[in-house]
Every structure is written in C-alpha cells, then in structure tokens.
C-alpha cells in the first residue's frame, strides 16, 4: 500500500468500518496472525464508533439494550449464541429420533392459562376482544396429546408480565415435551 493511501486510511478509518483488502498473511513478532495489505478499499463507513478492541463493551445496560454492539465487541457473547443454537439443534435431533413431532401453538389466546403468572394483555381490533400472550405452552400441547399425536414438543417464546432480575425476564424461551403413556 502506498504512502498516500496509508495516510488516508490512518486518518479516516475507524473501528467498525467495512474494508475490502488484498494482501498476504503473516505473523507479527508476537505471533499474531495479520495481513500485509497491498490494496485497501473503504466499502462502508460505520455510522457510530464501536467499543475499543482490547477492552470490549463493559457497560451492562448497553450490552443488553444494544445486543448487536455486544456481539461485535465481545467474542464470548458470540460463542454463547453459537452454543445455544447447537444445544437447541441437538434437542431437536434427539426428540425427532424418538418419534416426537415439533409443533407450534398459539402465542395469542383468548384465555390466559398454563401457569400461575400475570399475562401480557393486548387488544385484537378485528375481533374486538382482549387477547393474552401465552405464559406457557402446556395447555395446547396437552390438547394435541388428547388428539392422538402421541409425542409432541415445542421450543418457543413465553411471556410473563412480572419482575425482571438475573433469573427472570418477561420474554423467554422454553421447551416443553409431552409423551403419551410414558413416565
């Protein structure tokens, strides 16, 4: 890369900008894998600066409210997302191998039920009635068992209009499995 091009990038390129580069891989004296750049093109400018590479994003409030920034800044968070996806995929494979059927039950219902929790309430304009976001999948899954589906499960969102703390969130993913005639 020439001096003029290098000067432009040193002055104007920020963390988070998208670059296209051509070059050759090499290791620095400290052993870090790098690229000896021969050509560089600015593809897209970051609209806001990202957290600095070595310290990451530490503010908990920002991490939770701007999860996309947290994912960019913290490799451990990206790893957690990948592990979660792998775990859910494994659950599905095991349940399918045992003859279980994955189903989707309604998220909006005319009655709140399935657990002892306060539901979120919304109004259905076309029907002119209050509807409740589900607090559990249990009741609909049990109806499917009665309907002779035999083995059913659902991995889905539930909503509970209650407190927030380290162990409780108003929106969460749960898995419920029902298997007729089995303990």
Phi, psi of 112 (to 5 degrees): -90, 130
Which residues constitute the domain of residue 71?
A: 51-97
In this prediction, residue 39 carries a pLDDT of 87
Domain boundary among 68, 97, 126: 97
Indicate whether 108 and 170 sit together in one domain: yes
Distances (CA, A) of 86 to 74, 144, 157, 174: 19, 27, 18, 15
CATH code where residue 127 lies = 3.30.930.10
Indicate whether 112 and 90 sit together in one domain: no
How many domains does the chain contain in total?
3
In this prediction, residue 2 carries a pLDDT of 79
DSSP β-bridge partners for residue 41: 20
Domain boundary among 97, 130, 154: 97
Indicate whether 88 and 24 sit together in one domain: no
Measured between alpha carbons, how far is 137 from 149 in angstroms, rounded to an integer?
Answer: 16
Indicate whether 121 and 82 sit together in one domain: no
pLDDT < 50 stretches in the chain: none
Grouping H, G, I as helix, E, B as strand and the rest as coil, residue 141 is helix
In this prediction, residue 97 carries a pLDDT of 98
Measured between alpha carbons, how far is 55 from 171 in angstroms, rounded to an integer?
Answer: 30
Indicate whether 63 and 20 sit together in one domain: no
Indicate whether 80 and 59 sit together in one domain: yes
Indicate whether 165 and 126 sit together in one domain: yes
Measured between alpha carbons, how far is 35 from 19 in angstroms, rounded to an integer?
Answer: 13
Indicate whether 88 and 156 sit together in one domain: no
Domain boundary among 11, 32, 49: 49
Indicate whether 159 and 175 sit together in one domain: yes
pTM: 0.73
Indicate whether 90 and 108 sit together in one domain: no
- Residue range 153-174, pLDDT digits in tens: 999 999 999 988 878 889 999 9
In this prediction, residue 134 carries a pLDDT of 94
Indicate whether 61 and 89 sit together in one domain: yes
Indicate whether 80 and 11 sit together in one domain: no
């Amino acid at each position: 890369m020439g001096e003029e091009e290098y000067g432009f990038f040193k002055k104007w390129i920020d963390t988070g900008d998208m670059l296209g580069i051509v070059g050759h891989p090499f290791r620095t004296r400290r052993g870090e894998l790098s690229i000896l750049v021969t050509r560089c093109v600015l593809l897209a400018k970051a609209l806001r600066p990202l957290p600095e590479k070595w310290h990451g994003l530490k503010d908990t409030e920002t991490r939770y409210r701007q999860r996309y920034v947290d994912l960019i800044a913290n490799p451990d968070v990206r790893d957690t997302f990948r592990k979660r996806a792998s775990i859910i995929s494994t659950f599905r494979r095991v349940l399918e191998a045992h003859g279980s059927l994955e189903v989707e039950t309604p998220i909006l219902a005319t009655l709140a039920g399935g657990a002892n929790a306060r539901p979120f309430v919304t109004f259905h304009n076309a029907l002119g009635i209050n509807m409740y976001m589900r607090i559990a999948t249990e009741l609909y899954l049990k109806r499917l068992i009665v309907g002779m589906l035999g083995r059913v499960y659902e991995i889905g969102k539930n909503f509970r209009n209650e407190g927030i703390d380290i162990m409780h969130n108003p929106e969460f993913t749960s898995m419920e499995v029902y298997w007729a005639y089995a303990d």
